[in-house]
């Protein structure tokens, strides 16, 4: 603190001026606003953020090194856990990589079933954030509606796979087993029920003036920063970066769903735009699920997997497989030396890149807006620390 005397006019009044210094504030690693063990190191000038540094690694479990000590069947179990809200999509990238190395064709019924399950998993992921984000801003009701819809879809996912969150339903060459009798009809009913309930989030959240006041124009992420940091998924598309692997580099059955697939894009790049992209994408995923159900209903009975040798070895070589996971681009770089375990399996997770943009996004904003900005980045801490 410094004290100075200031002369005002011709009077002899003395005014004491107090100097200030920046304050370092830790948000986390255990904090109700951080979605888990993420630490934000903030430098504050009063109520305004001067600098921000995401400090990660508190959950690091060494997944990439564990991949190297497991065979290709066991890797699936590890892979579906880094983003625990997108387990099916995580599994998918691994099996697609190995299938590409083997030059393996997957049965058509398995391709369409995988696409259906991937979109159901996308809806489950998005519903979590559509409910939890308003909760962080003070609105408790949407999270109950979101979890009610999640339970509806969780039930059919669990019926097919046997797993509630970590499905373990993908296999190299297809799926673990055929879908249960009558399951497609139950999925159609579940999708219709969730669609009929989505208006509650549309009206209750987007129509709320407090929510819009807390999010519109807040935390604007420029397209240049999206490219610089490798941000992807709904966060990137909310800033006008129109990129979606399902459309731009189709995999599974997405190449045949071009008339149904709609990529949600906004130009504003603020918290509200990110929420709107997530909500619109959820609606479209329900439409894609219906299209997959229509196609599966018209396919003749047949296998959903390929017969594999007792010991599965990928040939020597390398490949990179990326998929449009619910939170963004997820990639696996597989290097094989012809063994039953990978020599290297590098994971490129969406949340890891997305969260780095906070170093540019938070400075200049108020502490009160930090929670709104952080929540709108839609990340899973396990996906950051992988």
Cis upstream peptide for 29 (omega within 30°): yes
Q: How confident is the model at residue 35 (pLDDT cuts 50, 70, 90)?
A: low
Q: Alpha carbon of 122 to those of 47, 233, 252, 265, 282: distances in Å?
A: 37, 12, 15, 17, 7
Q: Alpha carbon of 4 to those of 7, 15, 16, 165: distances in Å?
A: 10, 8, 6, 63
pTM of the predicted protein model: 0.91
In this predicted model, what pLDDT tens digit does every residue of 303-346 receive, in sequence order? Answer: 999 999 989 999 999 999 999 999 999 999 999 999 999 999 99
Q: Alpha carbon of 104 to those of 41, 91, 97, 199, 337: distances in Å?
A: 47, 17, 10, 42, 18
Question: Is 40 in a helix, a strand, or coil?
Answer: strand
Q: Which residues contact 209 (CB under 8 A, 6 or more apart)?
A: none
The angle subtended at Cα 129 by Cα 66 and Cα 241, nearest 5°, is 85
Q: Which domains does the chain have, with CATH numbers?
A: 63-384 (1.10.645.10)
Is residue 263 a contact partner of residue 356, using CB atoms and an 8 Å limit?
no
pLDDT for 7: 44
Question: Is 228 in a helix, a strand, or coil?
Answer: helix
Q: Which two tokens stand for residue 137?
A: 């801003």
Alpha-helical runs (H) found in the chain: 63-67, 72-79, 87-102, 108-136, 141-161, 183-201, 209-215, 223-229, 234-237, 245-248, 271-298, 350-356, 358-361, 367-375, 381-385
In this predicted model, what pLDDT tens digit does every residue of 142-189 receive, in sequence order? Answer: 999 999 999 999 999 999 999 988 999 999 999 999 999 999 999 999
pLDDT for 19: 61
pLDDT for 10: 45
Is residue 134 a contact partner of residue 205, using CB atoms and an 8 Å limit?
yes
pLDDT for 8: 42
Instruction: Read off φ and ψ for residue 131, nearest 5 degrees.
Output: -90, -40
Q: 12 or 49, which is more confident? A: 49
Q: Look at phi and psi of residue 133 and say left if phi exceeds 0, alpha if psi is from -120 to 50, else beta.
A: alpha
Q: How confident is the model at residue 104 (pLDDT cuts 50, 70, 90)?
A: very high
């Amino acid at each position: 603190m410094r004290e100075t005397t200031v002369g005002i006019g011709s009077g002899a009044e003395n005014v004491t001026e107090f100097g200030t210094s920046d304050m370092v504030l830790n948000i986390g690693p255990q904090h109700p606003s951080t979605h888990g063990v993420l630490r934000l190191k903030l430098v504050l000038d009063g109520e305004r953020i001067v600098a921000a540094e995401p400090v990660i690694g508190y959950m690091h479990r060494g997944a990439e090194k564990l991949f190297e000590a497991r065979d290709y069947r066991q890797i699936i179990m590890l892979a579906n856990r880094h983003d625990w809200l997108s387990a099916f999509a995580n599994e998918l990238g691994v099996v697609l990589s190995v299938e590409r190395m083997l030059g393996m064709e997957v049965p058509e019924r398995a391709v369409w079933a995988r696409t259906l399950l991937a979109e159901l998993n996308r809806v489950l992921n998005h519903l979590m954030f559509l409910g939890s984000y308003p909760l962080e801003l003070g609105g408790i009701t949407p999270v109950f509606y979101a979890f009610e819809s999640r339970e509806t879809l969780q039930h059919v996912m669990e019926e097919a796979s046997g797993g509630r969150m970590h499905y373990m339903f993908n296999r190299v060459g297809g799926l673990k087993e055929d879908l249960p009798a009558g399951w497609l009809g139950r999925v159609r009913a579940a999708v219709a029920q969730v669609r009929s309930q989505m208006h509650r989030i549309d009206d209750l959240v987007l129509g709320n003036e407090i929510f819009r006041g807390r999010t519109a124009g807040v935390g604007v992420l420029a397209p240049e920063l999206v490219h610089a940091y490798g941000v992807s998924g709904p966060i990137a598309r909310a800033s006008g970066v129109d990129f979606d692997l399902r459309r731009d580099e189709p995999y599974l059955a997405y190449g045949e769903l071009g008339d149904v697939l709609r990529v949600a894009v906004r130009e504003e790049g603020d918290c509200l735009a990110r929420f709107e992209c997530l909500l619109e994408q959820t609606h479209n995923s329900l439409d894609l699920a219906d299209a997959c159900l229509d196609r599966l209903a018209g396919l003749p009975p047949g296998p959903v997997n390929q017969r594999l040798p007792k010991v599965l070895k990928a040939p020597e070589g390398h490949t990179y497989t990326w998929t449009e996971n619910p939170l963004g681009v997820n990639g696996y770089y597989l290097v094989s030396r012809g063994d039953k375990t990978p020599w290297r399996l590098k994971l490129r997770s969406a949340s890891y890149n997305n969260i780095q943009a906070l170093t540019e996004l938070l400075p200049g904003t108020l502490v009160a807006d930090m929670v709104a900005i952080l929540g709108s980045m839609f990340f899973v801490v396990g996906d950051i620390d992988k």
